[in-house]
Structure 1
Amino acid sequence: MPTPNPAALEFLLSRRSRPAKTLIGPVPTRDALGPLLEAAARTPDHGKLEPWRFIVLEKPALTRLSILVADMAAGRDLDDDQRQKAINQYANADLAVAVISSPKDSPKVPHIEQVYSAGAACLALLNASLAAGWGANWLSGWASHDPVFRKRGLDLADHEVIAGFIHIGTEKTAPPERPRPDLDAITTWVTE
């Protein structure tokens, strides 16, 4: 028989991301962030390739990225709300971790599995942050998919992409619960 971990299961059944715009300081120190990154690095990783890496963005770096996004937004077909939302994602943040998908050449592990592993690292970091008592949210946005932003903002290699930004801070207001998927509508049982 398996050995249950009811506290872990209860956490997973009740976990709730915190909207990034509601996160304030204080944020985790480097010492407090270390175990969260360690938990994220324990994500499933077929072939032990470590096809991801972390870039910890503190306030000055996030301010720099907000200026870059503002400059880039000027040349895009965005309404004022879309432009401001993209800028605020960085300008109003005190700490975010960019999880970088950095696939490795491998004859055994397909590229897509490595990308999935980077996504799993995002979720692991998000859940570790929430389990440690922080508010956290996983964001992307149009800038994260832009090659100019990736290069100028984070100096990523050509083969690297941003799997997500995990914003971490102190929760100033608890979010309301939101509707969850209807399991019967999304689950198929195959018995033969």
Structure 2
Amino acid sequence: MDALDLLLNRRSVGKLCAPAPEGKVLENIIRAGLRAPDHGGLTPWRFVISQGKGLDKLGKILSDAAIAENSDPAVVDKMRHAPFRAPMVITVIAKVTPHPKVPALEQYLSAGCAAQAMQMAALAQGFQGFWRSGNLMFHPLVHQAFGLSGEDEIVGFLYLGMPEIEPMKVPQRHLSDFVEYL
């Protein structure tokens, strides 16, 4: 697939099935994330891969946080099963290093760029992915489970697998609604 075509037609598919990326394909996905813009060469990213029993662990982390928030039992159950929307979930973490010229915001943006690059690398290799977030990724129990400290943050959960459904058409947007010139 042509790179520009890939960028202009990217759509998330919310229902993914096995197989998950593995071997050289997964390695390419991670390497794409490592090519994100990185002011100061701080490498402000960490990727935690969950699959198989790891999806159970991730579901427990999320449901425990939902329980701690006194969430409705249906929400707790939804969080427990959320990781199973795909055969693999990569938790993308901004690992923030205090730096006089590179604020935490730049490091969060870099981790976000890593997530986008990883998603695009998956698509380029015939897989599909979607990026999820949610208020529980900021929960102290979730941070503790992932060993976050200081200004570290989870920037999202990247779900990867094969599409179970066709992606929706890309919405047409008018550039003039988003672009202006000084």
Pairwise same-fold verdict (TM > 0.5): yes
Alpha-carbon distance change, 136 to 184 in structure 1, aligned in 2, over 3 angstroms: same
Give the structure 1 partner of residue 12 of structure 2.
17
Contact 2:62–2:136 under 8 Å retained in 1:
yes
Count of matched residue positions in the alignment of Structure 1 and Structure 2: 182
What's the offset of the Cα at 1:73? 2.0
Q: TM-score when scaled to structure 1?
A: 0.85
Code of the residue aligned with 2:152 in structure 1: it is: E
Give the structure 2 partner of residue 113 of structure 1.
106
Q: State the distance in 2 between where 1:71 and 1:44 align.
A: 34
What's the offset of the Cα at 1:178? 4.8
Q: State the distance in 2 between where 1:7 and 1:78 align.
A: 45
Q: State the distance in 1 between where 2:64 and 2:2 align.
A: 46
What's the offset of the Cα at 1:31? 3.3
Give the structure 2 partner of residue 182 of structure 1.
174
Identity %: 32
Indicate whether 1:67 and 2:71 are aligned: no
Contact 2:48–2:90 under 8 Å retained in 1:
yes
CA RMSD of aligned residues (A): 2.0
Give the structure 2 partner of residue 99 of structure 1.
92
What's the offset of the Cα at 1:102? 0.8
Indicate whether 1:141 and 2:134 are aligned: yes
What's the offset of the Cα at 1:42? 0.4
Q: State the distance in 1 between where 2:78 and 2:171 align.
A: 24
Indicate whether 1:150 and 2:147 are aligned: no
Give the structure 2 partner of residue 3 of structure 1.
none
Contact 1:59–1:93 under 8 Å retained in 2:
no
What's the offset of the Cα at 1:114? 1.2
Q: State the distance in 1 between where 2:147 and 2:42 align.
A: 21
Alpha-carbon distance change, 182 to 24 in structure 1, aligned in 2, over 3 angstroms: same
| Structure label with greater radius of gyration | 1
Q: State the distance in 2 between where 1:181 and 1:79 align.
A: 38
What's the offset of the Cα at 1:92? 4.1
Q: State the distance in 2 between where 1:160 and 1:183 align.
A: 35
Code of the residue aligned with 2:132 in structure 1: it is: L
Indicate whether 1:162 and 2:145 are aligned: no
Query: Any gaps of 5 or more consecutive residues in structure 1?
Result: 1-5
Alpha-carbon distance change, 10 to 91 in structure 1, aligned in 2, over 3 angstroms: closer
What's the offset of the Cα at 1:53? 1.4
Q: TM-score when scaled to structure 2?
A: 0.89
